[in-house]
Amino acid sequence: MTATLIWILAGLVAIGLYLSWTAGRLDRLHARIDAARAALDAQLLRRASVAQELATSGVLDPAASIVLYEAAHAARQAEEDQREVAESELSQALRAVFGETQQVEAVREVPGGEAAAGELAQAVRRVPMARRFHNDAVRAARALRRHRKVRWFRLAGHAPFPMAFEMDDEPPTALADRPVS
């Protein structure tokens, strides 16, 4: 009788340890999502800031400046539920303005243009990477949260279900092909 109780108790302790480990893993995934989202927000803000700065510098023609400034301003001011759309529109504006190499070369020729073009090229390259890291963390957390043991024992607590950040982040070809300096 005591041997049976000891085995039952050992089994319950093992199950408790496993559930505790799983809850800790889920917590680490949620922390990873938070960190990746902060990095993504920083990269999106950097891209919009550089685009806005370039639009107001007087380097671009007036029509391109207006298109780029309005898209960058909208991306910076967008509410959370409209952020993906606004960032996609900024990507489209960047492709429209810097779709051809001549525009990038015109920016590079003015004083300070080389640095501005390089900063914008870096910003448009980092956004897809940051978004990929964020969405990978979301995918991992979602996969773990779908397990029965997580749902039955409510191991996620009151944490909201993680959402991926879906946007058009295709960089302009003239900037994507530019070597990083």
The span from the CA of 21 to the CA of 148, in Å, is 15
* Size of the chain in residues: 181
Which has the closest alpha carbon to 101: 170, 181, 179, 175?
Answer: 175
Residue 134 to residue 111: CA distance in whole angstroms: 37
Q: How many CA atoms lie within 13 A of 62 on its CB side?
A: 0
* pLDDT tens figures, 92-133: 999 999 988 888 888 888 888 888 889 999 999 999 999 999
What is the amino acid identity at position 54?
L
User: What's the pLDDT score for residue 112?
Assistant: 83
pLDDT of residue 138: 97
Q: What is the pLDDT of residue 178?
A: 54
Radius of gyration of the chain from Cα atoms? 24
At residue 71, does pLDDT exceed 60? yes
CB-CB contact of 94 with 171 (8 Å)? yes
Token pair listed for 120: 């914008």
Give the H/E segment covering residue 87. helix 83-97
Q: What is residue 174's predicted lDDT score, i.e. its pLDDT?
A: 83
pLDDT score at 107: 87
Q: Which two tokens stand for residue 114?
A: 């080389």
C-alpha 179: how far from chain center: 23
pTM of the model: 0.89
> Model confidence over 12-40: pLDDT tens digits?
999 999 999 999 999 999 999 999 999 99
Predicted pLDDT at 144: 94
Provide the residue type at 87 as one letter.
E
| φ, ψ dihedrals at 145, nearest 5° | -70, -20
Region of poorest pLDDT, from 1-5, 32-36, 70-74, 177-181:
177-181
Q: What is the pLDDT of residues 127-153, one digit of tens each?
A: 999 999 999 999 999 999 999 999 999
Tokens 């993680």 identify what position? 162
User: What pLDDT does 78 receive?
Assistant: 96
Contact 170, 91 (CB under 8 A): yes
